[in-house]
Amino acid sequence: MLPASFGYIAAHSVDEAIELLSKHGEDAKLLAGGHSLIPAMKLRLASPRYLIDLGSVPGLRGVRVDGDSVVIGALTVHTDVAASDLVHKQLPGLAEAASLIGDVQVRNRGTVGGSVAHADPAADLPVILTALNASFVLQSSSGKRTIPADNFFLDFYTTAIAGNEVLTEIRVPLPPSGAGTAYAKLPHPASGYVVVSAGVLIHRQPSGQCTSARIAIGGLGSNPIRATATEAALQGQLLTADVIARAAAKAAEGTDPDDDPYASADYKRHVVTVYARRAIEKAIGMRREA
């Protein structure tokens, strides 16, 4: 299928992209890797009159440390996140999630910023970035604001990004020593998108006692959902296999997933407990492959 006709404008700076967004309002959409927007346009689910291409904007690509955060430029492609030594060392759960997205072509074109801005309920990065307590830096003509993940993903395909804002970077707090991160996903066999997934950040004392846990699950709602009952069941506990299994069994508490042709709601609620357990075990080094 062909998209409706549209005008193409290449922005050369964030300021120019913001100016163009303000000028064209709801008629315009930002273009990053195009791997979600162009398919939506072909299906006529989106018909923007103008595409503002961010591809030539300098300074939005790459992974670096800034203070106590790992900073990922919005235009960084999934392949570069998956291959980053820094991400592997500090945030292995994020490297894992990026490496599991789609296929090699999707990972070479799709961007971190595009993925979180699109907020597909079956996407990988929103889940792990919620677990990692990431923040999203949004720029407009009024300046910058930073939104934490818990307040960023609002609904199906809806985020806190306003129509006149560009997402410029994603900031992920560096986990303290003794912390572990992991991601585990049951992929749809055809598309690779999430059926269910779990992202985990766990801090432990040298004694093995859990001092804090953030667990996010995907596939059970419009956005990543914090598995708060699982988090509470881990808090303060010595992380034995038994404690982890009992905590993970609570991962779907409070969720109300839809039935899909490929997975019933009951199945998703059950299988997410398995993936939560695997991700927790992997985050603390109890399991090598999730």
Ligand X SMILES: Cc1cc2nc3c(=O)[nH]c(=O)nc-3n(C[C@H](O)[C@H](O)[C@H](O)COP(=O)(O)OP(=O)(O)OC[C@H]3O[C@@H](n4cnc5c(N)ncnc54)[C@H](O)[C@@H]3O)c2cc1C
Applying CB under 6 A, the residues found at the interface with ligand X are 29-37, 39, 54, 74, 101-102, 106, 110-111, 113-115, 117-118, 120, 123-125, 161, 166-167, 191-193
Kindly report the CA angle at 228 between 136 and 239, in degrees rounded to 5?
110
Segment (H or E) for 145: strand 143-148
Nearest alpha-carbon partner for 164 in 52, 44, 38: 52
Q: Which residue's CB is nearer to ligand X, number 36 or number 230?
A: 36
As a 3-state breakdown, the chain gives helix, strand, coil percent values, each rounded to 5, of 35, 30, 40
Helix spans in 219-258 (H): 228-234, 241-248
Min separation Cβ 18 and ligand X, Å? 10
Sign of CA dihedral 16, 134, 112, 48: negative
Taking the C-alpha atoms of residue 84 and residue 218, their distance in angstroms, rounded to an integer, is 24
CB of 58 to ligand X, least distance (A): 14
Q: Report the residue number, 166 or 200, with the smaller CB distance to ligand X.
A: 166
Smallest gap from residue 60 Cβ to ligand X (A): 7
Nearer to ligand X, 97 or 284 (CB): 97
CB of 194 to ligand X, least distance (A): 6
Looking at the Cβ atoms of 3 and 102, the one nearer to ligand X is 102
Nearer to ligand X (CB atom), residue 60 or residue 234: 60
- At closest approach, how far in Å is the CB of 68 from ligand X? 23
Q: Which residue, among 217, 213, 249, has the nearest Cα to 232 in the 3D structure?
A: 213
Q: Which amino acid is at 3?
A: P
Backbone angles phi and psi of 271, in degrees to 5: -70, -25
- Output the smallest distance, CB 117 to ligand X, in A: 3
Q: For residues 72 and 161, which CB has a smaller minimum distance to ligand X in the complex? A: 161
